Structure 1
Amino acid sequence: MKVVNGHGGGSFLVWTLVVQLVLCGSGVYTTDSTKSCTLLKESDSERKVLNRLEPLAHKNFTAETKIGTESYRYVFQLCGDAGGVPGAGVIQYESKKTKPTVIGMYNATQAIGGSDWVMLIYTNGDSYDAHCSKETRKAMIMISCNKKVDMGQMNVVVEDRERGQDCFYLFELDSSAMCEVLDSRISAGSIILIIGFCLLAVYLIGGFLYQRLIVGAKGMEQFPNYAFWVEVGNLTADGCDFVCRSQNREDARAYRGVATEPKEEEPEERDDHLLPM
């Protein structure tokens, strides 16, 4: 008895592990990675916008650009250490420098969203050396809906540093995660049609089996209520013939037209031969 219980307990643990693995693979168990982002001003609306970006978590997105002889490479990660730099959401690698420049920190995040886009803003990056009044850098990532790609290539749009303040780096990224999911709702008419088709299928299949197996019908007589439907078909055909088909009918006498062609003169009958001689 103990052996049986032991096998039963082992089977239960195995099945539990299998179910957990299936659920994890299907996405039922998810890690709320966006909680790592600290909003500048905590609000439910911005937190909901961040939650929409959950499918993009734990992934590094890179982009490269070249200005003159200098080349730059950017790395972005959602609410994670970009390029392994602690606290950095976006970093910049310059060809002439070995140490990356932090463009924005994910502990100073803003999130603005629409129906099919999200603007993610990382602030408190490294300070400019001689531009923008030496203020801290800021990264803006525009993530837009694109149903054709799960996670597209990140592109550098512009680095706006030719102003006194509020300079920024602008990036763009396409993802199907931003596309609005439409709830599929079946109308009342569709439900009625589905029920009607189901009843018709049950009627035809059940009637066919009854006629063939119970009654022993053959050929067209296997069709349920064959005589009734033949009669209905004949009556329908007669009705269509009466309503739709034209037949030759004589016009009423009052509507007969007057003949335009002159009638031929009939030969005059002579009765001279009847006179006595």
Structure 2
Amino acid sequence: MKVFSSPSGGLFLVWTLMIHLVLCGVYASDGIENCKVLSNSVSEQKVLTRLAPLTHKNITAESKSKNGDESYKYVFQVCGDAGNVPGAGVIQMDMKAKEKKVTVIGTYYATKAFGGSDWVMLIYKNGDKYDSHCSSEKRTAIIMISCNRKTDMGELEVVLEERERTNDCFYLFELDSSAVCPALESKMGTGSILLIIGVCLLAVYLIGGFLYQRLIVGAKGMEQFPNYAFWVEFGNLTADGCDFVCRSRNREDSPAYRRGPTEPVEEEPEERDDHLLPM
């Protein structure tokens, strides 16, 4: 049984499989789909997509007690295995313990996400149970991610471990990132954009034309200007058109305002009428 009817058909199938593999790799590299939103809310899923640039990255923080008896290291990952612990979104490692005990604070299989214009609150629930605090309920991690355009991903800070309640205890973390910042609106209008494009095109025309005339054609002097003959003729035609429009006929001064001749008028001889007087 032949799989391919022709070599071209087999090549087409191979390329199709390669494209599918590439596309699958692109979609899988996102990592956001690993988070399981507890409420199956579409809005929460959209909030998670804002955190896509932070996926596949272990973000760490350290915390020590005032007397130095306790020292912990925290590892956080967006929708991924923090510290390579399967299902763990945030883990705690006891640095004082001999075997460095690892505690899962929250899992990304139980995720909640809320967001505003410049912040996102990520909640991982269903962590390991407390031993004696908080009625032995499961731990919860809250990560507050705030907008900071100066950094792609800042340092993770441990703000609070609330474990003195009877229930609803939590670990609170803070993180700065430009990933949750709102998109900047362009302040340039359509006219400004068109003007910039026009200036760029003009610069390309002048520089490219100059180099072509000088290096390829071998022109010298003013002839290095691109399309020099055309622009010279264009200037002359423009001048002729302006002359035709603005000076289409000779205008004569109105008779009321016509000036007299500038040449001096010869004085006529004075007529004598003495012969008319009686003698």
TM-score by length of 2: 0.61
Q: Using the TM superposition, name which of 188-197 and 131-140 deviates more.
A: 188-197
SS in 1 for 2:46: helix
Residue in structure 2 matched with residue 243 of structure 1 by the alignment: none
Q: Distance in 2 between matches of 1:146 and 1:53?
A: 14
Residue in structure 2 matched with residue 110 of structure 1 by the alignment: 112
Residue among 119, 126, 129 paired with 1:127:
129
Residue in structure 2 matched with residue 45 of structure 1 by the alignment: 43
- The residue identity in structure 2 corresponding to 1:57 is T
TM-score by length of 1: 0.61
Q: Distance in 2 between matches of 1:35 and 1:142?
A: 20
- Give yes or no for the alignment of 1:70 onto 2:55: no
Residue in structure 2 matched with residue 59 of structure 1 by the alignment: 57
CA displacement 1:130-155 (0-9 Å, x = unmatched): 21122111000111111221111111
Q: Give 1:96 shift.
A: 2.5
- The residue identity in structure 1 corresponding to 2:64 is K
CA displacement 1:51-93 (0-9 Å, x = unmatched): 1111111111111111131111111111111112211111111
- The residue identity in structure 2 corresponding to 1:72 is Y
Q: Give 1:182 shift.
A: 2.4
Runs of 4+ in 1 over 3 A off after TM superposition: 27-30, 183-186, 191-203, 222-225
- Give yes or no for the alignment of 1:181 onto 2:183: yes
Residue in structure 1 matched with residue 253 of structure 2 by the alignment: none
Q: Distance in 1 between matches of 2:130 and 2:197?
A: 68
| Contact 2:30–2:55 under 8 Å retained in 1 | no
The alpha-carbon distance between structure 1 residues 200 and 128, as it changes in their structure 2 partners (threshold 3 A), is: closer
| Contact 2:117–2:181 under 8 Å retained in 1 | yes
Q: Give 1:200 shift.
A: 11
The alpha-carbon distance between structure 1 residues 187 and 169, as it changes in their structure 2 partners (threshold 3 A), is: same
- Give yes or no for the alignment of 1:140 onto 2:146: no
The alpha-carbon distance between structure 1 residues 75 and 186, as it changes in their structure 2 partners (threshold 3 A), is: same
Residue in structure 2 matched with residue 237 of structure 1 by the alignment: none
Gaps of 5+ in 1: 1-5, 207-218, 229-277
SS in 2 for 1:122: strand
Q: Give 1:29 shift.
A: 6.7
CA displacement 1:169-188 (0-9 Å, x = unmatched): 00111112122222537423
CA displacement 1:242-264 (0-9 Å, x = unmatched): xxxxxxxxxxxxxxxxxxxxxxx
CA displacement 1:158-179 (0-9 Å, x = unmatched): 1011122111100111112122
Residue in structure 1 matched with residue 82 of structure 2 by the alignment: 82
Residue in structure 2 matched with residue 96 of structure 1 by the alignment: 97
> How many residues in Structure 1 have an aligned counterpart in Structure 2?
219
Identity %: 60
- The residue identity in structure 1 corresponding to 2:92 is Q
Alignment of 1:149-164 (within 5 A): 149-164=151-166
